[in-house]
């Protein structure tokens, strides 16, 4: 179930500027440097659709990609990156909050979590924010190739158990690696079943 056609539509600073055709939107967000651009490129089978950078905090607007003329991937700025001015961070937060709260065509948020490290406070806080506002989301564990094969399931489960300290039940999750080419079929099947 591969993507046949994808193209960049535009980058927007305000929700009101975003496309108005009502097509379903699937937004990708996570801490800076979690592998968001790499994952988007992998899902779309493109090398440079979303800009990959070794410098965190490069995504500063809501980047729209139309997929097979039937849905959008929305690449949102990462959160938790401190090397920007307070004014810039406040602007991002306001943009994200408005988009996530009022965007009627947003079907689901893909919340990316780095599987190589312990569960971060900023991820917990963002999960809680989404949950309290009843914004649908799923969890995507990225960079699973950074963990020895025998330890992968154990590591993911440890992060999930940490999350369950604040949740009675967790949303669906996916395990991905752009290096090992894992998780693409499962994510695209999820999207296709919801559009």
User: Could you give the number of structural domains in the chain?
Assistant: 1
> Which residues form the domain of 152?
6-192
Q: Is 106 a member of any domain?
A: yes
Q: Is 1 a member of any domain?
A: no
Tell me the range of 3-12, 47-56, 80-89, 157-166 where mean pLDDT is highest: 3-12
Q: What is the mean pLDDT of residues 18-29?
A: 97
- Cα–Cα distance measured from residue 176 to residue 103, given in angstroms and rounded to the nearest whole number: 27
How confident is the model over 24-83, as pLDDT tens digits? 999 999 988 899 999 999 999 998 888 754 444 456 789 999 999 999 999 998 886 655
- The confidence band for 195, taking pLDDT boundaries of 50, 70 and 90, is confident
Q: What is the CATH number of the domain that holds 73?
A: 3.40.50.300
Which neighbouring-strand residues pair with 12?
62
Query: In 3-state terms, the chain is what percent helix, strand and coil (to 5)?
Result: 35, 25, 40
Indicate the Cα dihedral angle 115, 153, 126, 75, nearest 10°.
60
Residue 29: in which H helix or E strand, if any?
strand 25-30
Return the sign of the alpha-carbon dihedral for residues 85, 87, 91, 94. Answer: positive
DSSP line for 118-185: PPPHHHHHHHHHHHHTT--EEEEEE-GGGS-GGGHHHHHHHHHHHHTTS-SSPPPEEE-BTTTTBSHH
**pLDDT greater at residue 146 or residue 47:** 146
Q: Is 16 a member of any domain?
A: yes
Q: Is 38 a member of any domain?
A: yes
pLDDT, residue 33, reads: 84
């Amino acid at each position: 179930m591969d993507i046949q056609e994808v193209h960049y539509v535009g980058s927007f600073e305000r929700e009101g500027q975003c496309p108005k055709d009502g097509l379903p939107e699937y937004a990708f967000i996570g801490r800076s440097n979690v592998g968001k651009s790499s994952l988007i490129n992998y899902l779309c089978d493109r090398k440079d659709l979303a800009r990959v950078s070794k410098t965190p905090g490069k995504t500063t607007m809501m980047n729209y990609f139309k997929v097979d003329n039937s849905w959008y991937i929305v690449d949102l700025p990462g959160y938790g990156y401190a090397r920007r001015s307070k004014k810039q961070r406040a602007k991002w937060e306001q943009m994200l909050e408005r988009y996530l709260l009022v965007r009627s065509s947003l079907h689901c948020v893909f919340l990316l979590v780095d599987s190589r490290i312990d569960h971060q406070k900023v991820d917990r806080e963002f999960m809680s924010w989404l949950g309290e506002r009843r914004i649908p989301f799923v969890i995507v564990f990225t960079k699973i190739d950074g963990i020895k094969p025998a330890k992968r399931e154990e590591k993911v489960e440890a992060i999930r158990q940490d999350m369950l300290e604040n949740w009675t039940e967790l949303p669906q999750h996916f395990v991905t690696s752009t290096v090992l080419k894992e998780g693409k079929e499962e994510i695209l099947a999820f999207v296709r079943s919801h559009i």
